[in-house]
Structure 1
Amino acid sequence: MKKMIALMLAPVVLLLILLSAGTDQAASPAQETTSVRFASLKTDKTEPTAQSANSENRDAVTKSDPDDADRAWVDASGTIVTDSLIAYALTLMGTPYVYGGTSNNGFDCSGFTSHVYQEFGVPVTRSSTTQSEDGIPVTRDEARPGDLVVFTGTNPQVREPGHVGIVISEPGDTISFVHSSSNGGVKISQVEGTGYDRRFLGIRRVL
């Protein structure tokens, strides 16, 4: 009797074993597929991010106006910073004039220009005399935003560098510049029609 019961149960046990094995085998591909899908999503969130940033930097240069790309100081990441440099310089308006000053507490003329340029990694020297030789000379008509404008000191008869500022006007316009003046601190002035016209010495392109 026991032998007969064992013979009857054997197929049932065998069937359960086969079903259990089939379930395990079916689960493996599903788990494997899920792992691959999440691995793919993780990659999409990381690697393309760096690629997108690089593409944006390239677009900033290649899709902008050619004149803008030509005039701009370009940093190591390929980012055009001329507009940012000018914007930063203008945020310092109202800062008092301090002889020898190079910080937000107060600037002299060359302390202001060197501070602004160096904030953006543009290599310029410290004094108005040496800044008058930084970069390359360009004509007055070619003056554009970011250029360095050089003047005499308060006596225009002494034709030696004594004052500097940063041009903010476009080529062909009346030259406007931001500078730290002993009369009013950091402010905007223009060349034509003012005492700065008589004191004008030249334009230096440092970007």
Structure 2
Amino acid sequence: MMLEEDNNPPPVAFSSYYYLSQWAQKIGDIKIEKLNSSRAVRVYGWVKSSGGSWWYDQVWVDKNYSSYRSAMLRHVMLHDGFTRPAMNDIDADHLAARSILEPWPKAWVCLFPVPRFSNRPFGGIEKALPKVRARENMLRLSPIMLFKALCGFYPRNLLEANIAMQDVSGQVLSASGNEVEKMLRMVASDMSPYFKKLK
């Protein structure tokens, strides 16, 4: 996963398609390709940053689009070589929970494939997150979102929590090691209230 866009976490939601397309035009040689609906697109290409160029390839959907999983399936089967049976236990996760996007009725959100058994237990955590501000137009990846996307499982004890943190740290790409360490410290900090409940 690309962590940085000019030393910032990447966006995971926009208040409308307009702001998504404007962002895509500004960050490099990026194309937007419609998937199985005008409400689901593939955003891909080379992102140019101060640290070099990064390949970006994500599915974005209208937050109200009900067939978002079909859009994700189409993408991974066409471009990542997965078969439909291999995706049976995979959720198409809205990196920004739709519950926090209520102030943005026309929001577009980035999808990420995650194991079903790890995604669903995060629902209680996500509902407690603050909602976006109506006057803003971009939401960036938060530490909890990063953990949910990359951990692979929901930790049930402290040993699993430590393993999950090691797993997440090994998957993050960045132009700057300092920024990686900063983000991982924030992940540990944001998840600590939940880890403290584990034994």
With normalisation by structure 1, the TM-score equals 0.24
**Relative contact order (C-alpha < 8 Å, sep 6+): which is higher?**
2
With normalisation by structure 2, the TM-score equals 0.24
Greater fraction of residues in strand? 2
